[in-house]
Amino acid sequence: MIFGTYTSTERMALMFGLGKKSSGTVTPEQVLDALRTVQEPELHRDLVTLNMVRDIKVDGGNVEFTVVLTTPACPLRSHIEQDCIRAVQAIPGVENVRVHFDSNVPQDHRMKGNVMTGIRNVIAVASGKGGVGKSTVATNIAVSLALEGARVGLLDADIYGPNIPLMMGVKQLPPPQNNRIMPAEAYGVKLMSIGFMVPPDQPIVWRGPMLHTALRQFLGDVEWGELDYLIVDMPPGTGDVQLSLAQSAALSGGVVVTTPQDVALADVRKGLVAFQKLNVPVLGIIENMSYFVCPNCDTRHYIFGQGGGRKYAEEVGVPLLGEIPLDTRVVEGGDTGKPIVIAAPESPVAQALRDIARQLAAAVSVSAMQTQPEGVIGLGDIPVMND
Ligand SMILES: Nc1ncnc2c1ncn2[C@@H]1O[C@H](COP(=O)(O)OP(=O)(O)OP(=O)(O)O)[C@@H](O)[C@H]1O
């Protein structure tokens, strides 16, 4: 008898013939009961109550089942997997446990009944001031979420500098179909930009009503199809676009991008206040250009000061979704139409962006789950049990 993998209580149980390997047939009900002890770490409820367990299969001592996550970009996947294995392995008779994963992004119920159909969550990326890397962050988050397997759209609503087509390497829209505007597509992301509507060298002067109409069109007349996330790159600062967007579409939430300098941080407050005024939940702050990693010695240099974003986020009670280093390859990627998460996926800057996208997806799930109609818990359907 090998005791190596058992706790002292389990060892005692084995010695007295109550061992997990010696008892009768394992049932799917036992598996489900064991999974009732596994908490979804962010939703603070167990997997069974949240209806996240599907397809339990038991074959002798072999158990497999599927956990349906609320996002394919779940940052806690391996944590949940370990917890599931531990819980099910504790059932007497269980020898092997295999956990499969699937995902079903919850619909933000504020989204229903507005101009968009088929879009589950709309996330606005804003900044208090220009030039902090808001478009870069929005683009790389969108591509990161698509890389995780989500259905993603990216709407460039930055009327002052609609540069996302350039960053995504897209020059024009495909022809319309059935009188519907078709979005462009790059790196698995559907893309629409205010820049497609006007010649590149023509300055864009949008007055309130014109802007409002254009935004409604982007949301309602573009054939987005089914999307888990629509990421919206907002113009810097606060103003008409924010207001129009909040009126035309319910936003699931907003994030504010900043750099560590005091002046940028002071402007973040404006972005936060704008979201709060429009009743848009603030999902987090993202600090860009946080530090520079020396290519020769790997030391981090905090050029604009260290920890400003984190301190500020704590002060205002908003999560800091992550810190992104400075890297000249970001500029090259932006200019050549290849976002850094594609151009240099192993770089620290790409890794930071991928991680931020996961944190954001998790925050969106938590926020969307809070909008579920009363009586609906978790993902809705009843678990399927096969044995
Ligand atoms: N982490 C980074 N490292 C190096 N360069 C960066 C980084 N993030 C952004 N940049 C560069 O900074 C410049 C400004 O970025 P970006 O256009 O994304 O900012 P923005 O806040 O959207 O600006 P605007 O207000 O003009 O729309 C770009 O040249 C971009 O490539």
Which tens digits make up the pLDDT trace of 332-350?
Answer: 988 899 999 999 999 999 9
8 A C-beta contact, residue 126 and residue 253:
no
ipTM of the complex in this document: 0.98
pLDDT given at position 120 = 92
How far does the centroid of ligand 1 lie from the alpha carbon of residue 135, in Å?
A: 7
d(CA 3, CA 281): 51
CATH 3.40.50.1100 fits 109-369, yes or no: no
Q: Is the CB of 335 under 6 A from ligand 1?
A: no
Q: Which two tokens stand for residue 333?
A: 């990627």
Residue 53: the pLDDT is 95
Nearest protein Cα to ligand 1, atom 3: 326
Q: Is the CB of 267 under 6 A from ligand 1?
A: no
350 pocket-lining for ligand 1 (C-beta < 6 Å): no
pTM of the model: 0.86
Domain chopping of the chain, boundaries: 22-103, 109-369
Closest-CA residue, ligand 1 atom 1, reads 326
Size of the chain in residues: 387
Nearest-atom number in ligand 1 for the CA of 127 is 21
Same fold, 22-103 and 109-369: no
What integer pLDDT is reported at residue 371 of this predicted model? 79
132 is in an annotated binding site: yes
**CATH fold for the domain made of 22-103:** GMP Synthetase; Chain A, domain 3 (3.30.300)
Distance between CA atoms of residues 13 and 30, nearest Å: 18
Q: Is 135 in the pocket of ligand 1 (CB under 6 A)?
A: yes
Contact between 266 and 309 (Cβ < 8 Å): no
Q: How far is the CA of 158 from the centre of ligand 1 (A)?
A: 13
Tell me whether residue 60 is exposed, middle or buried, using C-beta atoms within 10 angstroms of its C-beta: 0 to 12, 13 to 18, 19 or more.
exposed
Tens digits of residue pLDDT in 216-274: 778 888 999 999 999 999 887 766 677 777 776 778 899 999 988 766 677 788 778 87
CB of 158 sitting under 6 A from ligand 1: yes
Query: In which residue are the tokens 């078709």 written?
Result: 182
Ligand 1, atom 23, lies closest to the CA of: 131
User: What six digits make up the tokens of 387?
Assistant: 């044995």
Cβ of 34 closer than 6 Å to ligand 1, yes or no, is no
**Cα 30 from Cα 92, distance rounded (Å):** 10
Q: Which residues of the chain have pLDDT under 70?
A: 1-24, 111-116, 199-209, 238-240, 248, 262-264, 373-387
Ligand 1 proximity of 334 Cβ (cutoff 6 Å): yes
* Residue 133 marked in a binding site: yes
Atom 10 (ligand 1) nearest CA: 133
